[in-house]
Structures are given as C-alpha cells and as structure tokens.
Structure 1
Amino acid sequence: MNNHSSWQRKELPFLTLYAIVFYVIIIRRSLQLSQDHHGKLYGLRPGWIGGWLNDVSDAQWRNFRGNLPVLTIVLGIFTSIANMLRVYYQLKAKGMSIVWLLISLAYLSYLHGACIIFVLLITSVNFLLVKSIGLIGMTFVVPLDGRSALILEGNGQNDSFSFSIYLCYLVYAPLYIAGPILSFNAFASQIDTPQKNYSLRQVAWYGLRWYISFFLMELMTHLFYYNAFAISGLWKQLSPMDVFIIGYGVLNFVWLKFFLIWQYFRFWSLISGIEAPENMPKCINNCYNLESFWKNWHASFNKWLVRYVYIPLGGSQRKLLNVWVIFTFVAIWHDLEWKLLAWAWLTCIFFVPEMIAKSAANAFQVRRAFGEFVFREVSAVAGAITITCLVVGLLSVHL
C-alpha cells in the first residue's frame, strides 16, 4: 500500500507535465487554425474581446446568448414577484401554484401566442384521463415539447395532485424552455415548502460560478472557432491531427454550451425555491468511459430513460440490445433526421464493445489479476478511446 502511494506521488508530476504540454499544443494549434482559416468559416461575427471575431455559428448558443439579457430581466421579475407574494401572504402549495401558473401562462403566451391553446388542451385531456382511470400505483408520462416531461410517482390520486399544481408543474417558467426534468412529487413538495439544501449564499455562489463559466465560453468562442469549422465542413480538408483537435474542441464547446444553458435555468429555479437535478454533474474530461459520460450528460433525462425505457425493456439483463433501442429513441426525441439516427447507431457501435469488455473484466477480476497500476493505465487508455469515439460520433453529424 505504501509502495502504491509512493508511486502515485512520483507519477503525479509527470502526468501534470504531460497535461500541460498536451494543452499547450492544442491551444497553439487551435489559435493557428482559427487565424489561418477564419475567412472561409461561417458564423463569425465581430466580437468584444480584443478585436477578435466571435464564433456564433451554433444556432442554439446564438439564440440563448442573444436573448440572455431579456431572459434575465423577465425571470428576475417573475421570481421576485413570486417570492414576495409567498412571504407576504404566507402562501403554500395551492396559492403558489396559482401564482406561478398565472406568471407562466403569461410567459407561454409570449412564446407561443395563440398556440398556447394546444398546450393547455393536451395537458387538460391528460389530467382528465389520469383522474378518470385512477389506477393506484400507476405511473403516467406525458412528453411535452422534447424539453420537459411529466413524471408521477406512486398513487395518481395524491391530494397534492390538483389541476392547478399539475398545470403549474408542466408550464413552470424557469424550467419550461430547457429543463432540467424534475419529478412531479419533488416539484409539488417544494412549491409547498421551498428547498433547504441550498442557502442564499450557496445560490449566489452558484450564480457567480455560472458567470465565470460564461466568460470562459466567450473566451473560447473568440479565440477558437471550433464549431465554425464543423458547420462549414472545412475540417474535412485538415490533417488527421487537426481533425482531432477540432473534434475535441467541438466536444468541449457542446458540453459547455449545455452546461451553461441548463445551469442558467436551474439557477432561477433555485432562487424561486425549487431544486431541480443538476444536468451536468461531471466535467466531460473527467469521464473515462461512455457509460460514465452518458450518466453525466443530461443527467435528469438519463434518469428518465432508465426508469421509463431501460428498466421496462429488461434492464441490465438485456443491455446489449437495450442500448440500440434507447439511443434510437433519443435520436428521434431530438428530431427525426437520418444524421441523428446515424449518430445514435454509431454511438451504439462504440458502446457495445465497452460493455462487453467491462463485463469480461468484472468476471475475470482483471484489477486483482494485473494489479492496480496496470489496471489504472489500461483505464487511462480506455479514457482516451472514449474521447476519440465521442469526437467521431459528434463529427459524423456534420458530414
């Protein structure tokens, strides 16, 4: 044990030096590629950092970033009104559900216009079906717009399951656009009694960390035009090493984009007293296998998939087949496009060998047979393969 600890202490400086050299090479080459090819790239706009152009080629990020000031003002007003009414009138579940329902309906009216009638019609019909059937212990799931879903746990006839709380849950303004997905029971309990896990100071620190992460994204998009390379298709003309650098950059850009979007709306939900799950609990570069990556990418949706798709299909007993069904469903859930289906099936092709290898390693007790050191080194190689597979899968969408 002492020898193992001693070796780890000796190994750490080498690994640190290796990481520094790796990222220096990546950063220098990324800067050079961005400057050499910026005239051929799509989606670059004048930036605000040092006269550099800004890569806003990603439509999701461009729309979110462009609407951020308005969103912040609107959600700030919404949460302030709701919190003041809660404190002044000592409102509980029923009262707060009506407050947030009125606020959220005003919000939806702006987003959807007259089409809000269809949202209300679908949700109302579902509520009547649930109440009329009244099956004890049954779970009902109603996908709305691909970004949120109703999750009911236990008895559908629970006293908290009133129409106002139900509808408030589905159209709750801070989480309506992008989630994260929150179970109905968790929402109903917290709208009655605000969450206690985060203090005001912790919520403020959460917001500050988000702001720092946002600045990091701005720095990345001003200096490195990774996504513009992918959108423009120019990466196909580069050397294999440069293709890896662009793919690795796009992977980190996409992770940081969703990290910022989901944390932004979760922040406003926390301010209003509702704690939603953290969608990106782990950094992408800290995921050493595909299973870990997908558990920590859109984590709330992953939990939904496990409960309502993976387990009903047989769980781990049929995981080699289930993975194909699940990723096909995820691709269709995003949009019905061949390139998304190709991405899903390519991911499965990478995923299946990993699952077989992990099962074999557990069965033959590889860690004990080869020792801790060899096992860690093999795991590190597997981590590199994981990142490469993710890069290939992501770039396949831009073929």
Structure 2
Amino acid sequence: MATIALNHFLSFFSLEALDGRLAPSENQLKRQAIIKKVGPQSRWSTLEFKFYGIVFAIVVPLMFKTAMDASNETNANYTRFAHLLSNGWLFGRKVDNSDQQYRFFRDNFLMLCGLIVAHCSLRRILTPLLGIPKRTYFDFVFGIVFIIGAHGTNSLRILIHVLIIYGLAKYIPSNKIAVIAVWVYGISTLFINDNFRTVKFGISAIDNGFSGIISRWDVFFNFTLLRMLSFSLDYLEKKRLKTPPNDKEILDLSYLDDRQRLEAPLPLGEYNFLNYIAYLTYTPLFIAGPIITFNDYIYQSNYQPLASVKNYKRTLIYFLRLLFCIFVMEFILHFMYVVAVSKTKAWYGDSPFQISMIGMFNLNIIWLKLLIPWRLFRFWSLLDGIDPPENMIRCMDNNFSALAFWRAWHRSYNKWIVRYIYVPLGGGGKYRIVNSLFVFSFVAIWHDIELKLLMWGWLVVVFLMPEILATMTFKRFEEEWWFRYLCGFGAVINIWMMMIANLFGFCLGKDGTLILLHDLFKTYSGIQFFILSSGALFVASQVMFELRESEKRRGIDVKC
C-alpha cells in the first residue's frame, strides 16, 4: 500500500504529468538509447544517499525558519517594511502582497476564472449553433472583443504596430530585407512603447475615451511582439521555400510531433490577415503566454487537434498541480515577508544566512509568480483545445546547470528564442558565445528597457562560459567513478554564480548583493556559512543528478 501511495505521489509530480511532450519517447530505439546512458540500479537506497536524506531533513526546515526569522514580526527591521503588508486570510496572518505583478494577478483571479468559463462556454455553444467552420474564426471575433475590453482605445496603439509588421512581412519583395525590417521594427517597438506609450492622438474621443480594464497596454505588448515576429518569420520561411501558393496542395498534415509542427507544411494561404489577428489575440494566451508559434497554432486549430487535449485525466492532474502551487505561494506570502524586505532594503544587522535566504525565497516567489499565471493560462488553453508548451518544468531550486536552467525556465520562450534567434545565428557552433550574447541581450531588452537588466544578461553569458569550457574539458572522463563528484563541485560553483546573477538582477540589487558578498568573504560567520552552505549545495547537486538519472531510466531526457 505504501509503495502504491509513493508511486501515485511521484506520478503526480512527474514531468509527463505537466506536459505530454515530456513523456518517454514512443520510439523504442530512442527510449532504449536514453536508458543505456545510465546504470540500471538507482542510488536512493545506498548509505551515501541515506546520509543525503538526513542533510535534507535538517537543512530545508532550517532554510524556511531562517527566512521567517529575517522577515517576521520578531525581526528588528519589521517596522521598516510593515506598511507594505496587507490583511491576509491564513491563521490571522498579514500577507505580503507588495509585488505589483503578482498583486495584479491575485486581485483579479476570480475575474480571470469567470472569463475562462465564459470563453470556453461560448465556443462550445456558438460553434455548433452558428456552424462556425474553423476555430480561428471564433478566435478572431472573440480576440477583438477581448482586446478592446482589456485595452480600450489603447488597442489602436497595438493595431498600428500589428499593421506595420504585417505590411513589412507581406509587401517587401526581398525575403532577406523583409526579415531584417521585421526584426529592426520589432525591437524598435520596445523602445517606442517605453518612451511614447502615452502620446496623444489629438482626437478627444480616443485620448479621453475608455482605456480598458488594463490601461497599461504596453506591459503585455511584449508577448504580442513575439507572436507578431513568429507569424512574420514563419510566413517568410514558407515563402522562401517557394511552395506553390494555393490551398489545394496535397499536404501531409497527419500527426506531427512538437518539432515538426514548427515547420508544419501549411498552405501559403493560411498566412492571411484573419489568422494573423486570431493568433495575436488568442485570448487564453494573450496576456502572458505560454508562447506557441504561428505554425503550431494554425496546425492545432484548423488541421489536427492534439490527443493531449482530450486526455481529461492529465488535464485534471495539471489543474490540481496548479492549485498546489497557488497554496504554496499563499503560504510563503503569509509567513515570509521577503518581498517587502527587499523593497525597503530592510536587512540591516541580518546574518549572511538570513540575507541569502531573503534573496533565495525572493527568487522562489519570482518563480511562482510567473509559474502560476502561466499554468492558469495554459490550463485555460487546454480546456479550449490548444496545447501550448509548458513554461516551467523544474522547481527553481532543482537546477545545477546554467545552460539547463535556461532551457527549463520559461520553456516556451526558450524554444521561441532557439527557433527564431539562436539557430538562425548559427546555434552552438563556432560562435556559440557571441550567439549567446545576442540572445541574452534580446532577452534583457525584451523584459525591460533598463541598464541593470542588460548588465544581468551579459553577466549570465559570462557565467555560462566556465560551464561550457568545463564540459568540453572533462566530458571524456564521464565513465570514471569520480566524475559524478567532480560534477558536484562544478555544480556548487554554478549554483553560486546563478544565485548571484539573479539576486543582483531581480532581488537584492547592487547594494544588497555587495553586502552579501562582503559578509560572505570578510566575516567569520560569513565564511562559516559559505563553507556549510556549499556542502549543502553539493549534497543537493548529487540528489539532482540522481533525479535526472531516474528520469533517464524511464526513457526521459529533457536535457535540463
């Protein structure tokens, strides 16, 4: 009975429960090749991993306690950030609802749930009632109504960018010039919106009219930009291949896998204005994604729905995982006020351990505040019959590789970057570092026009270099017994560098990061903490290695 319960628990938190794309390959040869890469026996029952279990049992609760001590009423700095706390609903506790992004989602959660019910119900009622032949027709009409409700007259600002990008892709005769023009204008929109998002039209009805439920239209425009670029680049790629431009081609549009759908052999006629608008304004994914390419969206909408959207058991498990994450987030916000501490820099007198936990749980909150909306919107999309990629497939703390971390964090965006930037630039070939520099510069600018984030992007590339060089140098020793422990030491260095880069970019800022580094290496307690925490990270890395090995024994290798 205990074994059955454990198997159900592990299945609930497995990768394949999140996304069918992550399930073991149906190709037996490929699956066996993955399994052969690892030993047949797991290490969970060995003395070594029993010791690691004891370390986990001690360290993890201590981390939670330390974060609470550094941010609760008992801390001497409490009065500096108490004004940012609100009345909560758990055990009479205050809640830290001071993060603007998550507060918007949290305060409008019930309205979003109502919109999900309305959208899915209307499709199921109106499609047979009106005899709507294609899903994209419904998406086109509902999307326009939704965007006007969301952004009001500001929709016109979005429409200007939408029409310009469409015109550049459709009407510039040279494919190469069109690609360059689309990219130049696309990136320019980020700067245009940052500086001119409130410029008046000079027409009173527009300037003083209804500005929508979400007046800051530019906040969510960045996701629309990715979709505009996806449509344009997919169209230009199709056009370059010189496929006959008619809808009567004999095409093989039977089941295509995730990779094949990126280059789905769609008729050139599918790249029309109606499908363009339907794709840009597809309501479940409009606000924040996950990102699905135009080719994939049209394939799933008008040709071959994926079997995964009819797997109701998996969709239910996905929903339960979403609820679990929401309750974890609520627990953290009610018992660890680390966001408010970071906003007020209220860490005076705190130990290096406490400052590091303030930073670490801040990063966990950032992970959760992105994961929860993304999973809600993907759940909405699954209910509606479209299966986009899962954005977060690993817990933020279950990462030891900078390269793998970026493959698992905002996974649909990563796949978008690989398809439209990294591979066209040459991928991981001769200019891998330069290509990575371009990629992370775009990532930083896309997130926000801010020097701090641009520096963060470059810092990430610098931190990628040691891992790339170490992998190239030591890969030939991977069969040696000591290789796993050497990788563990490398993982500790990697984790520290990733933490410092992200603490600087998203949590503690320059001041807090410098204080942490000073205390770590110039105080006795800091050095002691650094040594002990590095040991704990080494243990964590060995557990992470074995988790990946366990997945490979089932034929899963997601390379992150």
Whether the TM-score (by the shorter chain) exceeds 0.5 is yes
Question: Does 1:64 find its partner at 2:105?
Answer: yes
CA distance in 2, matches of 1:48, 1:147: 33
Amino acid at match of 1:24: P
Corresponding residue of 2:306: 195
Deviation sequence 1:315-339 (CA, Å, 0-9, x none) = 2221222222222221111111122
CA displacement 1:334-386 (0-9 Å, x = unmatched): 11112212222222222221211112122xx1223xx23x2222323333333
Kindly report which structure 2 residues correspond to 1:88-103, keeping only aligned pairs within 5 A, or say none.
88-89=129-130, 91-93=132-134, 96-103=135-142
Letter in 1 for 2:132: L
Work out which of the residue numbers 210, 216, 223 in structure 2 matches 1:147: 223
Q: Percent identity?
A: 30
What's the Cα RMSD here? 2.6
Q: Distance in 2 between matches of 1:359 and 1:22?
A: 33
- What secondary structure does 1:219 align onto? helix
Match 2:78 to one of 35, 38, 57 = 38
Tell me which of 268, 271, 287 is aligned to 1:161.
Answer: 271
Partner SS state of residue 493, structure 2:
helix
Q: Partners in 2 of 1:383 and 1:73 — Cα distance?
A: 44
TM-superposed deviation, 1:191: 1.7
CA 1:196–1:321 in structure 2 vs 1: closer, same or farther (change >3 Å)?
same
Partner residue, 2:466: 353
1:147 counterpart SS class: helix
For 2:106 and 2:42, the matched residues in 1 are separated by 46
Alpha-carbon distance in 2 for matches of 1:315, 1:70: 42
**1:272-351 alignment, distance < 5 Å:** 272-316=384-428, 317-351=430-464
| 1:167 Cα deviation after fit | 0.7
Match of 1:126 among 143, 146, 165: 165
Secondary structure at 1:286's aligned position in 2?
A: coil
Alpha-carbon shift at residue 174 of structure 1 (Å): 0.9
* 1:51 to 1:320, Cα distance in 2 relative to 1, 3 A: same
Say whether 1:179 aligns with 2:216: no
Supply the distance in 1 between the matched residues of 2:425 and 2:43 (Cα, whole angstroms).
Answer: 47
1:222 equivalent in alignment to 2:334 = yes
Match of 1:113 in 2: 152
Q: 1:196 to 1:288 in 2, by over 3 A?
A: same
Of the two, which has the highest radius of gyration? 2
Query: Could you say if the C-alpha distance between residues 357 and 88 of structure 1 is closer, same or farther in structure 2, counting changes exceeding 3 Å?
Result: same
Cα pair distance change 1:2/1:215, threshold 3 Å: closer
State the Cα deviation string for residues 266-298 of structure 1 (Å, max 9, x = none).
Answer: 111111111111111222222221001001111
Q: 1:66 to 1:3 in 2, by over 3 A?
A: closer
The 1-side partners of 2:347 and 2:454 are apart by 22
- Helix, strand or coil: the match of 2:270? coil
Deviates more, 1:287-296 or 1:113-122: 113-122
Q: Relative to structure 2, which stretch is displaced further, 378-387 or 109-118?
A: 378-387
CA 1:66/1:366 → structure 2, altered by over 3 Å: closer, same or farther? same
Given that 1:252 and 1:284 are in contact with CA atoms closer than 8 Å, whether structure 2 keeps it comes out as yes
How far 1:87 moved relative to its partner? 4.3
Shift of 1:134: 6.9
Structure 1: unaligned runs, 5 residues or longer: none
1:312 to 1:191, Cα distance in 2 relative to 1, 3 A: closer
Q: 1:196 to 1:236 in 2, by over 3 A?
A: farther
Partner of 1:386: 494
CA deviation digits over 1:71-128, x for unaligned, max 9? 11122201210132234455343xx222222211111112211121232233234334
Is contact 1:244–1:391 with CA below 8 Å preserved after alignment?
no
Q: Does 2:344 match 1:232?
A: yes
Partner of 2:7: none
Partner residue, 1:211: 323
* Corresponding residue SS for 1:178: coil
Higher relative contact order by CA 8 Å / sep ≥ 6: 1 or 2?
2
Select 1:29's aligned residue among 54, 59, 66: 66
Q: 1:264 aligns with which of 376, 400, 411?
A: 376
Residues 92, 191 of structure 1: 8 Å contact kept = no
Q: 1:6/1:47 Cα in 2 relative to 1: closer, same or farther (>3 Å)?
A: closer
Cα gap change, 1:85/1:92 in structure 2, threshold over 3 Å: closer, same or farther?
same
Q: Is the 8 A contact 2:467 2:494 kept in 1?
A: no
Residue in structure 1 matched with residue 483 of structure 2 by the alignment:
375
Compute the displacement of 1:4 (Å): 7.6
Task: Report if the CA contact (8 A) 1:191-1:274 is conserved.
Answer: yes
- Give the letter for the 1:205 counterpart: I
Greater displacement, 295-304 / 2-11: 2-11
Matched letter for residue 349 of structure 1: V
Determine the structure 1 residue equivalent to 2:522. none
Secondary structure in structure 1 of the residue aligned to 2:222? coil
Query: Over residues 247-275 of structure 1, what are the superposed CA-to-partner deviations in whole Å (9 max), with x where a residue is unaligned?
Result: 22112111111111111111111111111
In 2, distance between residues paired with 1:366 and 1:108?
Answer: 56
Amino acid at match of 1:25: L
- 1:254 maps onto 2:295 in alignment: no
Please identify, of 28-37 and 135-144, the stretch whose mean Cα deviation from structure 2 is larger.
135-144
**Cα deviation, residue 54, structure 1:** 0.8
Q: Using the alignment, how far apart are the partners of 2:51 and 2:125 within structure 1?
A: 55
2:318/2:379 contact within 8 Å kept: yes
Aligned residue number for residue 57 of structure 2:
20
Separation in structure 1 between the aligned mates of residue 297 and residue 502 of structure 2, nearest angstrom = 34
Work out the CA distance in 2 between the residues paired with 1:48 and 1:92. 47
C-alpha spacing 1:7/1:85, structure 2 compared with 1 (3 Å): closer
Change in Cα spacing, 1:135 to 1:208, as seen in structure 2 (3 Å) is farther
Note if contact 2:378-2:388 (Cα within 8 Å) is conserved in structure 1: yes
- 1:3 CA displacement: 12
Amino acid at match of 1:325: F
- Say whether the 8 Å CA contact 2:433–2:461 is kept in structure 1: no
Distance 2:446 2:106 in 1: 24
Q: What CA distance in whole angstroms lies between the structure 1 residues aligned with 2:383 and 2:120?
A: 7
